């Protein structure tokens, strides 16, 4: 009934990421009569979109709500919410997750035309966003998709949010052992634009070469990160920081990008300092040193950040700096004589307490 109320004669319905196209010729009560424009096979549980958006299906189905409760029991790090229209849909999912006893982070999958219109408010209430190009491309059209992808990535980074680019990254490798050159350029351009991660789906879930496709994508991403465009920093010179730890993170990146620094080390409880640092383009590796397993798992998604198990509470009082420098040399991360920057708080073990940046020699 809901679908019949959402569409009218002349609308185009897209099934299975647009592979099948139907033209609505009439609605009869709860029935929608269509003419097949582009036919093909449909397997179970495939999505349906109206070209241009406008379907009123709820973002969270009853099954979604039950799945969120299950995810909470499993102590997941991230929960991806499909088809949010606006910020309220994302907040609804977060309320459900918190009520189930989880502090997991929310990834908003941008798949609807309405979500693009509300992108800034959605980003603000999300921990991460995903450019889910399959359904999104169907709703807004292929010609608009590249520009929208770039816009979403830029807006997410400006708001200090993680961004993931997904769908058909290397779809030819479902069958082929090598990607097309167009796919290589697609993955590389997402990296150059600033995405934190590229996500594979059918390539690994149903493909013939799951390991090979991961190796290929990783190699392309590393190659793209060697390009100068990915290392040109755009510091927020005019920004006003409300938090001391964010100001320290930005000062660290500015200093690192103008000084011959081998690596950056952030002693962190929640991972926020490392996240802020990763929003500034740089070819310098950022190491998130934390004793918390959950923080390490979450920070693994941040671009250019390498989480390490590190308990700063083992350092003697007043010797945190010396302890960090000695340990990173022991771990083989840097060599004696390398210049590094590390950040920490005066009080170890307190989240949000980063207030110190120190430049030192390993």
Span 21-54, pLDDT tens digits: 999 999 988 899 999 999 998 878 787 888 887 7
| 1 pLDDT more than 60 | no
d(C-alpha 66, C-alpha 70), whole Å: 6
Give CATH superfamily name and number for 3-50.
Answer: PK beta-barrel domain-like (2.40.33.10)
pLDDT band at 3 (very low <50, low <70, confident <90, very high): confident
Assign domain 244-361 to its CATH architecture: 3-Layer(aba) Sandwich (3.40)
C-alpha separations of 214 from 178, 204, 293, 300 in Å = 11, 8, 25, 16
Q: Where does 77-130 have alpha helices with state H? A: 87-99, 113-117, 119-124
**Among residues 223, 231, 278, which one has the least CA distance to residue 258?**
231
Do 131 and 156 touch, CB atoms closer than 8 A? no
**CA torsion 19→24→27→31, rounded to 10°?**
-20
* Degrees, nearest 5: CA angle 314-254-360: 40
Give residue limits of the domains in the chain. Answer: 3-50, 62-230, 244-361
- Using a pLDDT cut of 90, give the percent of the chain over it: 69
Count CB neighbours of 326 within 10 A: 13
Over the stretch 144-178, which tens digit does the pLDDT of each residue have?
A: 999 999 999 999 999 999 999 999 999 999 999 99
30 vs 312, residue with greater confidence: 30
| 286 pLDDT more than 80 | yes
Res 138: pLDDT = 86
| 315 pLDDT more than 80 | no
| 228 pLDDT more than 90 | no
d(C-alpha 21, C-alpha 187), whole Å: 27
Q: At what angle do helices 181-193 and 210-225 cross, to 10 degrees?
A: 50
Average pLDDT over residues 69-73: 96
Over the stretch 105-140, which tens digit does the pLDDT of each residue have?
A: 999 999 999 999 999 999 999 999 999 998 899 889
Q: At what angle do helices 62-73 and 87-99 cross, to 10 degrees?
A: 50
Rg, Å, the chain Cα set: 23
Assign domain 62-230 to its CATH architecture: Alpha-Beta Barrel (3.20)
Res 53: pLDDT = 78
d(C-alpha 159, C-alpha 150), whole Å: 14
């Amino acid at each position: 009934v809901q679908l019949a109320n959402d569409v009218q004669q002349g609308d185009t319905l897209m099934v299975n990421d647009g592979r099948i196209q139907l033209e609505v010729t009439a609605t009869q009560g709860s029935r929608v009569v269509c003419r097949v424009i582009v036919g093909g096979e449909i397997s179970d549980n495939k999505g349906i979109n109206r070209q241009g958006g406008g379907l009123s299906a709820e973002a969270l189905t009853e099954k979604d709500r039950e799945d969120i409760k299950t995810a909470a029991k499993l102590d997941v790090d991230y929960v991806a919410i499909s088809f949010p229209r606006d910020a309220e849909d994302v907040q609804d999912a977060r309320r459900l997750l918190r009520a189930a006893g989880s502090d997991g982070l929310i990834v908003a999958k941008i798949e609807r035309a309405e979500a693009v219109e509300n992108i800034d408010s959605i980003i603000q209430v999300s921990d991460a966003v995903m450019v889910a190009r399959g359904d999104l491309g169907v709703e807004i059209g292929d010609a608009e998709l590249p520009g929208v992808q770039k816009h979403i990535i830029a807006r997410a980074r400006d708001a200090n949010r993680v961004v993931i680019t997904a769908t058909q990254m290397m779809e030819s490798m479902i069958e082929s052992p090598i990607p097309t050159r167009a796919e290589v350029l697609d993955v590389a351009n997402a990296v150059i634009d600033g995405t934190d991660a590229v996500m594979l789906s059918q390539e690994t879930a149903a493909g013939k070469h799951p390991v090979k496709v991961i190796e290929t994508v990783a190699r392309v991403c590393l190659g793209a990160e060697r390009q100068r465009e990915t290392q040109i920093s755009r510091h927020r010179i005019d920004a006003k920081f409300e938090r001391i730890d964010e100001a320290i993170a930005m000062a660290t990146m500015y200093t690192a990008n103008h000084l011959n620094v081998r690596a950056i080390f952030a002693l962190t409880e929640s991972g926020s300092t490392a996240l802020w640092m990763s929003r500034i383009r740089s070819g310098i590796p950022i190491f998130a040193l934390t004793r918390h397993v959950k923080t390490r798992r979450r920070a693994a998604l941040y671009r250019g950040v390498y989480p390490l198990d590190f308990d700063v509470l083992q350092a003697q009082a007043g010797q945190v700096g010396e302890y960090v420098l000695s340990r990173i040399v022991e771990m083989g991360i840097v060599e004696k004589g390398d210049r590094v920057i590390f950040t920490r708080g005066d009080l170890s073990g307190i989240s949000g307490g980063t207030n110190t940046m120190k430049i030192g020699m390993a």
